[in-house]
Amino acid sequence: MNKLIVGFLLAMAPLFGMASGGAHLDDADIDLGDQASLQRGAKYFVNYCLSCHSAKFQRYNRTAKDLGLTEDEVKENLMFTTDKIGETMTVAMDSQDASNWFGVIPPDLSVIARARGVDWIYTYLRSFYIDETRPFGVNNVVFPDVGMPHVFWKLQGTQKAVFEEHDGQKVFEKFEQVTPGTLSPAEFDAAMRDLTAFLSYVGEPIQMERKRLGIWVLLFIAVFFVLAYLLKKEYWKDVH
Ligand code: HEC
């Protein structure tokens, strides 16, 4: 049995290594029960991401319902690429244009939080740094040579990355702020936490419901266990 567990852990190890590209990931610490956070995240998503990335499995009316917004609020604040509330979050950009401009087509972000993990997303969004050798003048610590520009440069400001040599390998050490953003570092982190929470929600819209339901299921099992135990005692009491 122990061998099985060790074997399983060993088999999974490369997965964890691969997901982070070896870089340290910060704890996203999102709260999916916090609707205000999800609403702010949705706003960042439609304003800063939806111009390039779609979330084509996510419908606006579903978003309204899950985030506690009215359909009118969603229409007014979140819908820029369509005016039909039953529509999915598609992107207006032509995919040929996209690959001309960025070299790659920005991927759909419907399930990105599940593919990469929320810690990776949270770290990625905060890890763009100045690199003049790149087409957009930025690079990313967790996604080297990324084809995406730093869309939050106004909010976060710009930063440079300090690397150290360890055994001939460049290892990321820390960031140094170059120009300030309109948000303080703490405010920017909070904003990225909201956005990460929204992407996590989009990755599995049912997850809040699933967790709520899970508690009832566990309670049911607990009660059922007591009944089953009493029944067993009743059946076996004459056997000895
Ligand atoms: C100007 C267009 C553009 C905007 C705006 C943009 N991105 Fe991107 N994004 C890209 C491109 C292009 C890539 C592909 C990078 C690559 O493969 O090198 C990418 C890649 C990504 C990835 C990594 C995908 C992977 O392969 O794992 C994530 C996550 C991501 N973007 C999230 C976001 C979020 C969140 C926003 C909004 C804050 C955003 N992007 C805004 C163009 C954009």
With a pLDDT cut of 70, the percent of the chain lying above it is 90
pLDDT score, position 17: 46
Cβ(107) to ligand 1 under 6 A?
A: yes
Please indicate whether residue 240 or residue 28 has the higher confidence score (pLDDT): 28
Cβ(112) to ligand 1 under 6 A?
A: yes
66-79 pLDDT, tens digit per residue, is 999 999 999 999 99
CA 46 to centroid of ligand 1, rounded, Å = 13
Instruction: State how far the Cα of 125 lies from the Cα of 156, in Å rounded to an integer.
Output: 10
Cβ(106) to ligand 1 under 6 A?
A: yes
pLDDT score, position 12: 63
Cβ(51) to ligand 1 under 6 A?
A: yes
Cβ(124) to ligand 1 under 6 A?
A: yes
In testing the pocket of ligand 1, which one of 43, 52, 109, 114 has its CB within 8 Å of the most ligand atoms? 52
pLDDT score, position 95: 84
Instruction: State how far the Cα of 190 lies from the Cα of 170, in Å rounded to an integer.
Output: 29
Instruction: State how far the Cα of 108 lies from the Cα of 53, in Å rounded to an integer.
Output: 5
175-211 pLDDT, tens digit per residue, is 999 999 999 999 999 999 999 999 999 999 999 899 8
CA 107 to centroid of ligand 1, rounded, Å = 7
CA 158 to centroid of ligand 1, rounded, Å = 18
Cβ(148) to ligand 1 under 6 A?
A: yes
* Residue recorded with tokens 């106004």: 154
Average pLDDT over residues 25-51: 95
Coil, strand or helix at 128: strand
Average pLDDT over residues 221-233: 97
Average pLDDT over residues 3-30: 68
Let me know: does 62 contact 88? Beta carbons within 8 Å. Answer: no
Let me know: does 19 contact 121? Beta carbons within 8 Å. Answer: no
36-45 pLDDT, tens digit per residue, is 999 999 999 9
Say how many C-beta atoms besides its own lie within 10 A of residue 123's C-beta.
24
91-131 pLDDT, tens digit per residue, is 878 888 888 888 889 999 999 999 999 999 999 999 999 99
Please indicate whether residue 66 or residue 82 has the higher confidence score (pLDDT): 66
In the predicted model, is pLDDT for residue 22 greater than 90?
Answer: no
Tell me which amino acid residue 25 is: L
Let me know: does 89 contact 52? Beta carbons within 8 Å. Answer: no
Supply the mean pLDDT for the chain: 90
Average pLDDT over residues 13-19: 51
Instruction: State how far the Cα of 157 lies from the Cα of 177, in Å rounded to an integer.
Output: 7
Residue nearest to atom 34 of ligand 1 (CA): 49
pLDDT score, position 13: 59
In testing the pocket of ligand 1, which one of 25, 53, 81, 127 has its CB within 8 Å of the most ligand atoms? 53
Say how many C-beta atoms besides its own lie within 10 A of residue 5's C-beta.
9
Cβ(104) to ligand 1 under 6 A?
A: yes
Residue nearest to atom 5 of ligand 1 (CA): 49
CA 95 to centroid of ligand 1, rounded, Å = 14
